[in-house]
Amino acid sequence: MNPKEFEKILEKIPGVVVDKTARQFAIYYNELIKTNQKYNLTRITDLNEAYLKHFYDSIIPIFYFNSDLFTQAHSLCDVGTGGGFPGIPLKIIYPELKLTLLDSSQKKLQFLKNLCELLQLNNVDFVWQRAEDFGRKKGREKFDLVVSRAVANLRILSEYCLPLVKKSGNFIAYKGKNGENEILAANNLISMLGGKIQKTVDVDLKKDDDYRTLILIHKIKITPHKYPRANGQIKAKMKGSHGK
């Protein structure tokens, strides 16, 4: 997907000023590649691949889920944001969102802070912390919308993310082609965490046999106090059959 093709996609999103938004994504790409020479932000450096597998991939939910998820949300948290995906592309499209970028790498967060200044993105918080620690204290039940892309197995990811979501809020997990299998293994735990799977979407990115499964989880009740557990406990329980 080249930048011009990406612009055509931006034109389909109500309210987007395409010229300005396209310039922001061009700056994003240039900064990503420049900084990637010092820090390992991404293995995807080709222009067309980055536009497809980073930028387009990040905004896919806009086209498959109800737009109210984004237009009516006030706060968005991107868990394990890495190079800023999907949080910053979503913030570029919806600049009114209060964005929190959560990562355990201080160097990546410093890159993202510099990037947001260049892109003139305001109302962004940068949190250097593990997700399970953030979910037990400052971030607990705080966000209207939580997103995470390719961070962990869905069972682990749900325990990281659902405690951060407000009751009646939503969590979008970006998974690969094995997403359906992960749903089967995670369903019981998602329910215990207060979530309910609302919708799943399979998207063929039409490049290198690359697929995306998007999983929308609605928060229907408060997460029990014992979740999230410590990271070692979460991963140890992955060996069990029900994630309890």
Residue 61 lies inside a defined structural domain of this protein = no
What lies within 8 Å, CB to CB, of 61 at 6+ separation is: 69, 86, 147, 172, 214, 216
Residue 1 lies inside a defined structural domain of this protein = no
Q: What is the per-residue pLDDT across 124-138, written as a single tens digit (0 to 9) for each?
A: 999 999 999 999 999
Residue 135 lies inside a defined structural domain of this protein = yes
Contact 213, 132 (CB under 8 A): no
Residue 228 lies inside a defined structural domain of this protein = yes
Pairing relation of β-strands 211-219 and 195-204?
antiparallel
Residue 222 lies inside a defined structural domain of this protein = yes
Q: Which of helix, strand or coil describes residue 128?
A: strand
Q: What is the per-residue pLDDT across 6-28, written as a single tens digit (0 to 9) for each?
A: 999 999 999 999 999 999 999 99
Q: Residue 213: is it exposed, middle or buried by C-beta count within 10 angstroms (0-12/13-18/19+)? A: buried
Domain with 204 in it: what CATH number?
A: 3.40.50.150
Residue 88 lies inside a defined structural domain of this protein = yes
The count of structural domains within the chain is: 1
Angle formed by the axes of helices 154-161 and 179-192, nearest 10°: 40
Contact 44, 55 (CB under 8 A): no
Total-model pTM: 0.93
What's the pLDDT score for residue 207?
Answer: 63
Q: Which of helix, strand or coil describes residue 119?
A: helix
Residue 141 lies inside a defined structural domain of this protein = yes
Give me the chain's average pLDDT, please.
Answer: 92
Domain membership of residue 132 as a residue range: 67-237
